Chain A
Amino acid sequence: MHDAPFTRRLFLQRGCALASLAATVPCFIERSALGMLGNPLLSSQPGVPDHRILVVVQLGGGNDGLNTVVPYGDPEYFKVRPNLALQAPGPSGSGVSLQLDQQLGLGLHPALAPLKSLYDEGLVSVVQGVGYPNPNRSHFTSMDIWHTGRLDAKGSGWIGRYFDATCNGTPIPEGAVAVGRSAPLAMEGNIQKPISFESPELFRWLGEDLHPALKDPYEAINRSGTLPGTGGDTQKDFLMRTALDAQVASGRILAAVAKAPLVRYPETPLARQLRTIGAMIRAEMPTRVYYATIGGFDTHGGQNTRHAQLLRQVAEAIEPFQRDLKAQGNDARVVTMVFSEFGRRVKQNGANGTDHGTAAPVFVIGAGVKPGIVGTHPSLTDLDQGDLKYGIDFRSVYASLLGDWMKAPSEQILRGNFPSAGIVRA
């Protein structure tokens, strides 16, 4: 049976670190390098922070920014949201916001208490009023704009282009992983393609559950692939290599999640996704960008209860994830961004809910961030057709994550010069 030493280094050689050489060395050297497994020169590239990881948490449906980061210092807030407004910080209770910054008159939704403790520990950057010009209020289009990083919402994804730009010609197996039903457009590159799986238990062949006798022949069939560079490149060679990769990745992922996590995660869908991601990071998977998703933020009616539940799920998933990373000793390697396709209208609607709006806050979390509040809270009176005006272009957030954190050519990836929002420590 095939028993290649599949180490993290091998994955890296086959992926990014090697490909980053490809830009500077002639093709034939790259080819021969493929055969040189274990060459220590290839294991780490100066200036290529291959150990850094980005995690994206998507809040689908349009999260109400004004009830997430609460402008309690502005009397207008209470006027436009007579039934929805959260109170200024005070004795804790439902509907009383948590103090974020007294001087600025900003609070956090009370359900975000676990996030607040991370904030107090200097692990959270709150980026205010993030949006883009001529906001689109369709969920799908606005989400596509965020995913493509382009105002026309067309083309490949911004994370996909990150891989394409840094891994010239060679996709990393499991480089981009979405724990969820389908891979997000954001991760679709021209070269790099994301993989996605809803739960690690499904990242395997289910036929072996039918009869134990099927396991051996299945393995023989799927582990007979050759390493890249050592075999041919027919369609069948390609498939056999991928099949071998799949077996290896499946084994690693299943082994990773079989280990009990170092901290306790709640049993919610988002926490399960982040627990899987935490396990994969701990297992030193070659993944550079992970994606997790939670939907349901489209709170047109009866918002208060639902919104609180959702935010609680978010905070109660992110906080243990951060603790997990710290316990693993990986907290300095991982930065997490939390975003939604748009915020909601300033005024509440007639159904104690809010309709589709524009700019909203983005959270960036991790030991590598510059903690604090970035940008100014959008004005509640200087509006554009009843909606907030954005202060920070979302692509400036991306520019910081790509350029400052991942050390990638953000201008090339974003196809434009967006000043870094400076969220990450240099």
Chain B
Amino acid sequence: MDHPLTPLLKKDFDFAAAQHLLNRAGFGGTPQQVRALVELGLDDSLDLIVEFDAGDRKRAKAGESEEGETPARDRGPLFVHGDFKPDVLREETPEERAELARAREAKDEETIARLQALRQQRERDDREQLALMQKTWLQRMIETPRPFEEKLTLFWHGHFATGYRTIENSWHMAIQNETLRRLGSGDFQTLVRAIISDPAMLRYLDNNQNRRRSPNENLARELMELFTLGEGNGYTERDIKEGARALTGRTYRGNDYYFDRQQFDPGPKTILGRTGNLDGDGFVSTILERPECPRFIAWKFYRFFVNDAPTLSPEGKECIERLADEFRRNDGRIRPTLRTLFRSRHFYAPENRLAVVKSPTQLVVQTIRSLGTPPREMKSLVDAGDLMGQQLFQPPSVKGWDGGRSWINTATLFVRQNVVVYLVTGRRPKGFDWSDSEMRYDSFPLVAHLRDAQGGLDAHETIRAVASFALGGSIAPERIEQLDRFLDGLDQSGRETAITNDRIKALLCLIGAMPEYQLC
């Protein structure tokens, strides 16, 4: 019998379906790219998108390595290139510390001030490095040939949310980001274990203060509530207390995870009904055996990749249940689970098309990747993300971004509309330090492809094709009418309506201002 995860029929993988897949599993693509997927068919498209590193893995299996080759700038580890330094925010050296102690002793205010100024300089440099990381990651999302890798990294960044504001160490954020990228498509247990060994997370949730004699429950609580089981799903306050004991001693030194045996509580603990001398890894495997875990993760996947409307349809509920089963059957492996989802009939169902509110990052990256606008200034786009409520490396809290409708309010909606204007025309809003961009957007490749693919369209048909593509596959009749009227209004002379680059740009600005442009 059919169920939500039944595979889509091959013939139903049409242009709109392929575009849907590319938007959700990645950040959209040009008409040419969408067309290429249609020609590949669903399964080969999934190979291309989901098994993005198949080539690397094959090489690794055959014992070949990429050693000696320059690491790719557009995929794999992101912050390994020379621009980033692990020690911008280094601790004081023993010499400096001794000097400071001496100065304090001698009440040598000048030396104290000098050492403090050095420290403050390092903090400023660190904030600058974070700003560079934000731009670099955004650029990666725009350029990567493996959009699914970055989309997943972004997903996990919101799931295992850690904010720079609190930890104030850019390199720790970089380490975490690489971990999420490296392990984000692997198996969940490995990922969670890495997270409870991650300096940024350990600092963010105060586990560096989780000591045998004074346990700190913060990480234990969020590990269950936000990372694995969901709030109140099958655990008690007692489990949190016992779990915190299992996490004692997990801290960091410098940039590395450090297990402080002195602070670890070696006594027996009972967590979720399991008793033993559990440590952090034991705690994680205990949690991950619970049925609530796959269900919670399946729900998070569903909201991010399928539909984030406030109410869930009955099919949606069933899909989540099936996806949870699938996740379990795959031993918590993420990639095959999501592959099944992306292959399913439910994923392509009409109710799930244009059912996700684009995150600010999605809005920016998808506009560039699908319309082919110049990327313009990364700094401006990072700033715009901030105005729209999503600053990379700065989720508002450990809950991450709420997503869905919470992205949208009257103020963010204007910024969203204006960002499209900026990308298409290079016009920056007055009063911002957005830099003006002289780079001209050439809409011709987009238009030509859409027009030619459908065989010599007239002006109005072309506009319709462009709008339908930009809006993710469908356009309402009243929108067609509105755009037609606009186009007709431009030519009072009665001559045949001409399609010019400026007109396409104006139309794209209008399309970007349509409420439904916020959906993907």
Chain A residue contacts of B310, Cβ below 8 A: 233
Q: Which of A283-329 contact B (CB under 8 A)?
A: 300-301
CA A24 to CA B165, docked complex, whole Å:
41
Q: Which residues on the A side are within 8 Å of B357 (C-beta)?
A: 235, 239
Interface size of A by CB at 8 A reads 61
CA separation between A218 and B508, bound complex, in Å?
Answer: 12
Q: Determine whether the beta carbon of A207 is less than 8 Å from that of B515.
A: no
Q: Would you call B431 and A201 a contact (CB within 8 A)?
A: yes
| B165–A206 CB distance below 8 A | no
Partner among A195, A211, A214 whose Cβ is within 8 Å of the Cβ of B409: A195
CB-contact partner of A173 in B311, B410, B418, under 8 A: B410
Interface string of B504-520 (1 = CB under 8 A from A): 00100110111110110
Q: Which A-chain residue is minimally distant from B310 (CB atoms)?
A: A233
- B391: chain A residues at CB < 8 Å are 182
Which residue of chain B lies nearest to A352 when distances are taken between CB atoms in the complex? B113
Q: Which residue of A lies closest to B421 (CB)?
A: A207
Whether B405 sits at the interface, judged by CB under 8 Å, is yes
Given known A174-B410, A193-B406, A221-B479, contact A239–B427 (CB-CB < 8 A): no
* Cβ-defined contact, B355 with A235, below 8 A: yes
> A182-B387, A238-B408 given as contacts; is B414 within 8 A of A141 (CB)?
no
Q: In the docked arrangement, what's the CA distance between A152 and B217, Å?
A: 12
Q: Contact: A207 with B519, CB < 8 Å?
A: no
Give the residues from 462 to 516 in chain B that come closer than 8 angstroms, CB to CB, to chain A.
478-479, 482-483, 485-486, 489-490, 506, 509-510, 512-516
Do most interface residues of chain B lie in helix, strand or loop, or is the interface mixed? Answer: helix
Contacts A173-B410, A236-B515; A181 near B486 (Cβ below 8 A): no
Q: Taking the nearest CB of chain A, how far is it from the CB of B66, in angstroms?
A: 40
CB-based contact B409/A217 at 8 Å: no
Contacting residue for B513 out of A221, A301, A351, CB 8 A: A221
Instruction: Give the most central of B356, B479, B509: most A CB within 10 Å.
Output: B509
B113 touches A202 (CB 8 A): no
Which single member of B116, B405, B430, B506 contacts A300 (CB below 8 Å)?
Answer: B116
Chain A residues closer than 8 Å to B510, beta-carbon distance:
207, 214, 217-218, 221
Tell me if B100 counts as interface (CB < 8 A to partner A): no
A350 cross-chain contacts in B, Cβ below 8 A = 108-113
- From A182, A250, A355, B116 is in contact (CB under 8 Å) with A355
Q: Is the CB of A221 within 8 A of B397?
A: no
A220 touches B482 (CB 8 A): yes
- A206 contact set on B, CB distance < 8 A: 417-418, 421, 427, 429
3 smallest A-B Cβ distances: which pairs? A350-B109, A239-B515, A195-B411
Give the B-binding residues of A (Cβ under 8 A): 138, 140-141, 144, 152-155, 173-174, 181-183, 185, 188, 193-199, 201-207, 209-211, 213-214, 216-218, 220-222, 224-225, 233-236, 238-240, 242-243, 245-246, 249-250, 300-301, 349-351, 355
Residues of B bordering A, CB below 8 Å: 108-113, 116-117, 120, 165-166, 168, 218, 309-311, 354-357, 386-387, 389, 391, 396-398, 405-406, 408-414, 417-418, 421, 425, 427, 429-432, 478-479, 482-483, 485-486, 489-490, 506, 509-510, 512-516, 518-519
Q: What are 6 contact pairs spanning A and B, CB under 8 A?
A: A141-B166, A153-B166, A185-B397, A201-B430, A202-B431, A225-B515
Q: A236-B515, A239-B516 are in contact. List 7 more A-B contacts (CB 8 A).
A: A173-B409, A195-B409, A205-B417, A207-B512, A210-B509, A246-B413, A351-B113
